[in-house]
Amino acid sequence: MKESLLHLHQLLMPFGGLTTEEWAYLIDRLQKVIHHKNERIVKSQGDIYFVHSGIIVEQEEQETNRIVKSNQLIFIPITRSYAQLHTLTSCQLLLLDRKDLYHILARYPHTVALYDQLLQKNSEEEAERLNFLKRDKKSRITIFKASHRDVLPYMARKDIASYLCISEEYLRKNF
């Protein structure tokens, strides 16, 4: 868990980080979660996951929407979401559930600014995904190969096609 905490600390630093007291309070509320390959992650509204290691895909109605890798955050929306999280590899996660998040915000109200910055970063990543999908098919394949080479052994062709918003046939011919 020590290495996971170090990576989380490094992720938070560009946003101002936390004081020693706040960091200790956060650590006491984090839960270490380990998932094996090909497991569904049970999630609750408002939870925040930090992916220390492993690869996770977010899928909704058989469509792959997101690939999450080490040192990334997953925000589970407060609103109802039908998206599911599945592990492609064994994963080590740190979980901050909504109740504990509220405890931190109540005790250290200024940390809401850090939370807002992390949510903004998450929104920017979602916007990048939409911009990615505006590119032509060949560009999407090229970018995918460069960005997600480590994911290739674990993803089925249909999931890659779904993520790229192209047909499996087009993917087979052009990959």
Tokens of 115: 């939370």
The C-alpha angle with vertex 107 and arms to 106 and 112, in degrees rounded to 5, equals: 60
Residue type, 59: Q
Other beta carbons within 10 angstroms of residue 69's beta carbon come to 17
pLDDT at 136: 96
Q: What is the pLDDT of residues 86-128, one digit of tens each?
A: 999 999 999 999 999 999 999 999 999 999 999 999 999 999 9
pLDDT at 138: 96
State the residue for tokens 């600390």. Answer: 9
Q: Which residues contact 28 (CB under 8 A, 6 or more apart)?
A: none
The C-alpha angle with vertex 145 and arms to 142 and 148, in degrees rounded to 5, equals: 135
Q: Secondary structure of the chain: what % helix, strand, coil (to 5)?
A: 50, 20, 30
Regions of the chain where pLDDT drops below 50: none
pLDDT at 82: 84
Do the Cβ atoms of 51 and 93 come closer than 8 Å?
A: yes
